[in-house]
Structure 1
Amino acid sequence: MGPNRPHSRNPPPPVRTWSAGSLDMPLRQEVHLSRPDALLNQKRRSVVGNLVRRDSAATIDSDWGGGSPRDSGPTITKWEHLQLVPDLLRSISKYGVGPPNKIQQRALPFLLNGADIIAQAPPTQERIAAYVIPAIHIALTSLAVKPQNRGPIVLIISTTVDQATQAQRMIRDLGGAIGVRSALGVGTGGDVQQEIRLLQQSVPHILCGTPQKLHSLLTVPNGLPSNEIRFLVLDEVDQLIARNLHEFVFNIVKLLPSSRPVPPTDSSGSPPNAGNGSGFASSTRRFPPLVHSTNPNDSPGAQAAVIKRQTALFSNTVPQDVLNLANSIQLRDPVRVLVRRDGNVTSSEAQKGGPGSGLKQFYLYLAFTAAGGRLDNNGASGAGLGIIGSGRTNQNAAETAQAKEWKLDALSDLFDDVEIGQTIVHVGSLATLDAVVYKLASRGLEAIPLHTEMNSGAKMAAFHKFRGNNSIMMKQQPVSRVLVVFDVQIKSSDVFQVPLVINYDLPKIVEEYSHRVSPAISTNYSRPGVVVNFVTATGGDVEMLRSIECFYK
C-alpha cells in the first residue's frame, strides 16, 4: 500500500479478514512492530475464518450465506421415502440406481417440496442424479395437469459439454421409457434455426445444454418458448462464473417466469436497501439486478400465465461470487445444502487419530475489487468496478499488480496470526518466489528460497538452514523459518514433519499436489499437519481445485 501504486488515487488499505480459529495452531499473541502504521491502525479481522475445510461430513449448513435455516427432516435411505411419481420410482428401480447418497438425501426433499437450493457437492454422477430425478418428477407432474407443452418445462444449464451430456443421457435412461422427452444443446456453432425446427417437431420436456447454445435457442427470433419453464438448474456455477459465461445465463433467466415478485425500484433504478437481509449482495454489484423481459417468442396468452420458477444451483465451491449470482437471479429464501468430501476417512478413524487424520486441508478464496478495496467476509468493499481475479478479460496492468500485492498481504497476514516454527510455501514462478521472500523477510521471518535453478550444493544448504536449530543468541521467541519453493520436489528425507504447507500458487498438474503436501502429513498420533491452498478465479485455480478434489477423492 505504498505511494508507488499505479493508480490516480490511493485506495484505502484492504480490510483484514483473518481469524485463526480454524487452523488449530498456536496463535501469535503480539503484533509485529515492523508493520506499517496504516496497517497497525487498521482494525484487523481474521482471514483464517474464511478458510474452507475440505474433509467434513455432509451437513446442512444453516449459517451459510443467507436465507433461513431449515430442519433437514428425516434421513432418506430409500427412494420410496420420497414422494416421487410411481412411474419414476419404477424406472429408478429398473435402471439399477443405488440407494440415495449424501447429496441426494439432503437435496431431494427440499427440491421435491418446491424450495430453491444452493448445493455444494463434488461433481459426480450422484450430484447429477440429485437434480435429474427432481427434473423428471416435475416434468411428469406438470404433464399430468397439462398434457401438451409448447416449450421446455425444465431447463438444465451445465458449464461443460461433458456434464450436460451426462445429464441428458441420465434423463433419457430414466425418463425416456415413461414418456419424458429430453434434448441436448451444446457447442457454439451450427445452424440454430435448423436445430430449433427439429426441436419444435417434438418439443422436449427437459432441455439440457451449455450456456451459449441454450442462449441461442431461446433468444433468437422464433426460438423455443420459455414461458413454461418451472424448474431451472445451474450446474458447476463456480466454473460458469470463472469462465465468464454468466451473462448468457442472465439473458436466459430474464425470459423465464419469475421466481418471486420483483421488488420496487427507487429513482436510480436499484431496489431500495439492495443487499440488506439476503446475505448475498455486496456493495460492489458484480452482477446487476435482474429485470425480467418479455419473451418475444411467447404468445400474449402465454405471457399472462403465472408460473413460479424453482431454481437449483449446484457448485463444487461456493465463493462469494456464487452467492451474489444466486441473489441476482432472485432465488426464493434458498436452502443451503453443503456436502463435503470425507477424504476416505471414517469418523471413527478421525476420532482415534488414525493415518487418515494426519492432514487437514483448507482453501482460501481470494477476491479483490478493481477500484477501491478488497472484499471482506461478507462481500462488502469500497467502491469497485468489478472483481480482480474473476475471469474478466479486460483487467488492466494496474489491477493485476494490485491483486498480486494484496495476495502477498494475505500471506503475510497468515503469519501474523499463527505461531509456526517451520512452513513450506510453494509458488509458481521465480518472480513470485522473489516477491514472497522479500515480503516475508520484511515481516521479520527467515525466508529461505529454494528453486530449480540452484545447484545441488545450494539446495542442500537451503535444506540445512531450514532444518537447523534456532540460534542460542536469540533472546526472544525462535525465528519462524519459511522455505519458499519453486519447482523442486521435496523428499521426506530432506525435511522433518512440517506443521504447515501453503500452496500460494496451485500446482499445474494434480499429481504434484501429493508431493507438495507430503511433508505435512502426520505419521503418528501428534497434531495433524495443515495445508492451505490460495485460490483465485483466474488462471484455472477453481478448476484445478476441483480436479484435485476429484483425483484424490
Structure 2
Amino acid sequence: MSTFNSLNISKELLENLNSLEFKNMTKIQEKTLPLLLNNSDVIAQAKTGSGKTISFSIPLVEKLEVKKFTIQSMVICPTRELANQVAQEIKKLCRHIHNVKVLTLCGGVPFKPQAASLKHKAHIVVGTPGRLLKHISENNIELENIKTLVLDEADKMLDMGFYEDVISIVNELPKDNRQTSLFSATFEENIKVLAKDILNNPVFIQDEDIHSNQKITQAFYKITQASKTSLIPSLISSNKASSVLIFCNRKVTCEELADEIFELGFDCVVLNSDLDQKQRDETVVLFSNKSYPIMIATDVASRGLNIDDIDLVINYDVAKDEKVHTHRIGRTARAQAKGKAITLYTNEYEIEEIKELYNDIEFSSIQNLEDDLSYNLIPEYRTLYINGGKKNKLRAGDIVGALIHQVGLKSEDIGNIDIFTFHSYVAIKKEYELKVLKELNNNKIKGKKYQVYKR
C-alpha cells in the first residue's frame, strides 16, 4: 500500500495530509493521483467510499495559484449534499494555505448571496449543474481562467437528466490546456458518450474492487407489505445495529414509517427533497452525531452522504433499478468497515435485475431472525444548536474550550462538532445535556454570548 509521501507534492500539503491522518492511499488514489498531478485527463470508475474525493482534490490544491484570485477549478456534483461535502474536503486540504476561497453554488439556497459572493472572486467553485448554469447565464462567473474541471458521480448526474446542462457548462469553459476528470460508479454507454464529448485522450482507471461486495453482507426477506414495519425492531436487534439508514421510494412513505417507528419506541429523523438546505444539513448532522440512530430517506440520500459508520441499511421499498440499489447499499461498509444491507420485497419480479448483479445475496425467512429483546437502540449523544458559526469567527476549538473549561466536560464527553455559516451543532453525552444548556446560555463562548438550544 503506497503512502502519500510517494507523491510529488509540496511539503506543506504533505504535512497537512499527515495532520488529517491521511497516511496510506486507497487503490483509486494510488492509481489516479500520479496521472492527475501530471495533468492527464482521467476517467475513474470507483465505488462509493473509495476515497475518490481526495483523489481529485489533492491536484486542485497542489496546482492552486493562491495569489491569482480568480476561479481556477470547477467541480460539478449531482446533489447539494455531495457538493457541500466535497467543498468541505477541499477546504480541509487547503488549511495550510492562507486566504483560499472555496465557494459552493447549489440550488435550495438563495441565489443573490451567491452572486454577491462571486463578485468578490473565488479560487475553486463546487456546485450542481442547474445552479452553475444559472450563474453562467447571468454572467456571474468568470470562467476564462478555469484550468481544471471535475465531474463527480457523473452517472448520477446523467440519471438525474443533467446531460444537457453539463454539456452547456463545459461548452462555456476554456478548451485549451484544460484538464478534465470524470468519476463514476458505473461505466455504461451514457458515460462513454459524455466522456467522448468532454475529455481529451483520457486514461481509464478502474478500482478492481468496484463490484466487490465482500464487505457488505446482503440479506433479502420476502414479506407482506403490511408486515414490513413490525419487522424493523427484529432486524435492528438481531444485527445489533447502532446506526440505521432506511430507504423508501416515496416521501409520504417516509413520513408514515417515521410515525410508525416512533410508536414502536425508536427515535428517527426523515430526509427527503421537501427539506430546505438548512433542514437537510441539520437532519444529516443529527443522524451522523448519533443523536438519532435511525434516518429514513428517499433516494435523495442514496448519494453524497459522507457518514462512515452506518452499520445497517434497510431497503423498506425495493429500489427502482439495480444502480439505485447499489448506491443505497454503498452507504454502509465505508472507510474499510463492514456493513449489512437488508432488502424487504413482496414479489419476485421486484428483485430480478438486482439478483442478476449480485451472486452472494442471502435469501432468508423472517422465521430465522434471532430477535434479541434485551437490545435497546438508545442514542448515546444529544445534539445542541448554537446560533453562531463561521461568520461569527466561531471555531470548533472555541466550543470545545467552553465545554471543558466552563462546563467541566471531558474531551470524551464531546462528540462531533459541525460549523456552518451562521450556526453550529455540537454533540455531547446525553447525561450532560441540561447542564451544558444551562452553562452555555449563562456564559460566553470566545467572549460572546450565544443562544443554545436542544435539537
Q: Which has the higher strand share?
A: 2
TM-score normalised by structure 1 residue count? 0.41
Q: Determine which structure has greater relative contact order: mean sequence separation of CA pairs < 8 Å that are 6+ residues apart, divided by chain length.
A: 1
Structure with bigger helix share is 2
Question: Please, what TM-score do these two structures have when normalized by structure 2?
Answer: 0.49
